[in-house]
Amino acid sequence: MAVAGAAGIAGLAGCLGGGSGDDEEFVYAFGRSPTEVQFNIFRQSNFAHSIQDQTHHYIAKGDVKGNVWPDLPESLSVDGSTLVIEFPENYSWWSGDDLTAEDYWTYLEIRRLQDPEASDIKENVLVDDYTIERTFKGDVTPNLMRADLTDQTFGKLTTPRWIYGEYLERLQDATTQNERDTVIDELREFQIPIDQLSEEGLGNGPYEVVDWSNSDTAFELYEDHPLAEQTNVERVRLISEIATENLRAMEVNDEIDMYPEGLIGEVDRGDYPDNLQNWKEIEWFRTQKIAFNWKNEHLAKRPVRRAIAHALDLGPIVDAAVEAGLVGDPPAVQTGLRSSIHEKYLGEGWVDQLIEYPIEADESGAVDLLEGAGYTREDGSWLDGNGTPVEFSFLTNDGQFQSSVGVVVSDQLEAFGFGMDVTTVGSTDYYQTLEQYDHDMWWIWHVAAALWHPTSYYSNDFYGVEVGDPSSDAETGVTGIPFELEIPSEVGASEIQGDGVTIEPAQLMADLPVAGSEDEVREMTRTLVQWFNFDLPNLLWIEERSGSWGDVEAYDFPSGDEENVKLDMDRPGETALMHGWIDRAE
């Protein structure tokens, strides 16, 4: 059984070297410190989310049109309820061991056997060294079968069979759920630090880890990789943007060759040298939101949530994010989805029926909502029916744009008359703090899976619209949202008049990824969107645009022509690097 390695042999404080003055070294920035993360895919605590995009290949990714494409596999074909995954025969791990279908089959079986009764998968069959047949229990649309492989974290091939095989054998031998839970608990305990990843050759990308420090990681081209001959970039250095205090200075001083997930916005254009240009722009999948904790007695009331939507002016909130480096605009309609997929998954013109919430602040509308719910404003402060001031706690982290956005949100709500208590924590502690659910509102990305599909936006977790376990005997989930509730029978109605429609949002979110037809996908998505628009469990405040910028004079970046659909996906910069599509300019 794999165990955590010793402290990184090259884990020295500081950086490995200078900027991009070394013409042989391609320098880019993203993510966290390599010495603060680990690479066991089943241990999400301190998992290497961003570094993994450089060390391991994706199985599949989704493009901006909602299609799903194989990345590492040669094909993802569908036969009835079975998805056939065909792997190439010429890939290997950095250790030199052949990369085979058994590596991914090991992951799929561990995932299924955690709770085989609850799993949507009937069986994963290892047909031969390079073929897996994955059969679903019910009828599932082909695109959803493929989409199940695209998760931004779990969608990579990160499970060498010799590391995880013993856990799989123990799960296969387990006869009760308690026995399975014991295995999974142990699986979640062990860590794979970066020194073990490097020394034991547990990666499979075209560049292997050869050195690291607290703030950056050095890679060299893995000569046995099938794509190694496609590029003349032999050395790469990944700088941790979180661990590097002077990253902005490095960028404007032309010491960074690429940023893989982001654009140089109009606000910053004058600060950057002319050779640094946006070479790829996409209508990104990601939005951002303010989540409401319905365990707060005030936020449990729909009029209060709607009043906050009216009191906030989204323009200045977006402006604060743009000043901090993001690119995007406020959403026109509160649907919980990216507007670019409205027509595809909801139908032409369907969103026109929904409730319109203001983008600019509508104070009179907010006042009407609160007064109608029994609140009064005295000396500029809102009081509930007992005369107690209404106060909210707001959680954000200390990232540049997160903290600045938190200030604007808090200031606007305080100016409107709510008491606000803002808690700002470090990024490494943020998610653990969030999951205690002790705060009334918090900032969070909306959608973590890099897929332009309703299943991503309506995932039942804090990245989606979190309710909780739909099999729970409780009446509400972790954030106080009921497992069963009512919405109007008429789409776009602001109140329930007469007989409403009873829905179970948590169950709908569990059923959506295994819908049997496109009609079912549309029906369930419409119900979830109507609920989101009616109840406002969250408030979306920005739809981001993204892409990649780089040094277009020193390097040749791919053109992004239509035939290269893989660039219309998340993090096009790293996608290009992982496929050997970036070359030093001659």
For residue 50, what pLDDT is reported? 84
Per-residue pLDDT tens digits for 183-242: 999 999 999 999 999 999 999 999 999 999 999 999 999 999 999 999 999 999 999 988
| Six token digits for residue 6 | 């010793």
Alpha-carbon 409 to chain mean position: 23
Per-residue pLDDT tens digits for 420-466: 999 999 887 898 899 999 999 999 999 988 788 999 999 999 999 99
For residue 245, what pLDDT is reported? 79
- Dihedral, 474, 476, 480, 486 alpha carbons, nearest 10: -160
Per-residue pLDDT tens digits for 255-310: 999 999 889 988 889 999 999 999 998 888 899 999 999 999 999 999 999 999 99
Mean of pLDDT values over 72-96: 97
User: How far is 341 from 66, CA to CA, in rounded Å?
Assistant: 8
The yes-or-no verdict on residue 2 having pLDDT over 80 is: no
CB 206 within 8 A of CB 220: no
User: How far is 396 from 376, CA to CA, in rounded Å?
Assistant: 28
For residue 566, what pLDDT is reported? 77
Degrees to nearest 5, angle at CA 322 with 267 and 272: 35
For residue 9, what pLDDT is reported? 32
Q: What is the C-alpha radius of gyration for the chain, rounded to an integer number of angstroms?
A: 24
Q: Do domains 40-195 and 287-544 have the same CATH topology?
A: no
Angle between helices 518-535 and 302-311 (to 10 degrees): 80
Alpha-carbon 295 to chain mean position: 25
For residue 509, what pLDDT is reported? 97
- Percent above pLDDT 70 for the chain: 95
The dotted CATH code for 40-195 is: 3.90.76.10
CB 262 within 8 A of CB 548: yes
Per-residue pLDDT tens digits for 552-570: 999 999 976 645 677 888 8
CB atoms within 10 A of CB 139: 12
Q: How far is CA 8 from CA 125, 189, 212, 236, 374, in A?
A: 38, 19, 8, 19, 60
For residue 23, what pLDDT is reported? 61
Q: What is the 3-state secondary structure (H, E, C) of 383-451?
A: ECCCCCECEEEEEEECCHHHHHHHHHHHHHHHHHCCEEEEEEECHHHHHHHHCCCCCCEEEEEECCCCC
The yes-or-no verdict on residue 19 having pLDDT over 50 is: no
Alpha-carbon 8 to chain mean position: 28
Q: Which of 7, 121, 63, 18 is nearest to 570 (CA)?
A: 63
Name every residue whose Cβ is closer than 8 Å to that of residue 125 and which is 6 or more positions away in sequence: 132, 133, 134, 135
User: How far is 366 from 382, CA to CA, in rounded Å?
Assistant: 11
The yes-or-no verdict on residue 153 having pLDDT over 70 is: no
Domain 287-544's class?
A: alpha beta
Mean of pLDDT values over 134-163: 90
* Segment 176-184 long-range contacts (CB within 8 Å, at least 24 positions apart): 177/115, 180/113, 180/114, 180/115, 184/42, 184/114
The yes-or-no verdict on residue 154 having pLDDT over 90 is: no
The yes-or-no verdict on residue 117 having pLDDT over 90 is: yes
CB 503 within 8 A of CB 530: no
The yes-or-no verdict on residue 21 having pLDDT over 60 is: no
Q: What are phi and psi of 443, to 5 degrees?
A: -85, 145
DSSP 44-57: -TTB-TTTHHHHS-
CB atoms within 10 A of CB 203: 26
User: How far is 548 from 571, CA to CA, in rounded Å?
Assistant: 7
| Six token digits for residue 474 | 């409780």
Domain spans in the chain, listed from the N-terminal domain onward:
40-195, 287-544
Of the chain, the end-to-end C-alpha distance in Å amounts to 48
The yes-or-no verdict on residue 6 having pLDDT over 60 is: no
Element at 362 (helix H, strand E): none
User: How far is 12 from 176, CA to CA, in rounded Å?
Assistant: 46
Per-residue pLDDT tens digits for 340-380: 999 999 999 999 999 999 999 999 999 999 999 999 999 99
**pTM of the predicted model over 0.85:** no
For residue 15, what pLDDT is reported? 54
Banded model confidence at residue 35, pLDDT cuts 50, 70, 90? very high
| Six token digits for residue 583 | 């070359």
Decide: residue 4, CB within 10 A, 0-12 exposed, 13-18 middle, 19+ buried: middle
Angle between helices 363-372 and 302-311 (to 10 degrees): 160
User: How far is 582 from 174, CA to CA, in rounded Å?
Assistant: 47
Sign of the four-CA dihedral 146, 150, 151, 156? positive
- Dihedral, 95, 97, 100, 103 alpha carbons, nearest 10: -50
Average pLDDT over the chain, rounded to whole? 92
Decide: residue 213, CB within 10 A, 0-12 exposed, 13-18 middle, 19+ buried: buried
Per-residue pLDDT tens digits for 244-253: 878 889 999 9
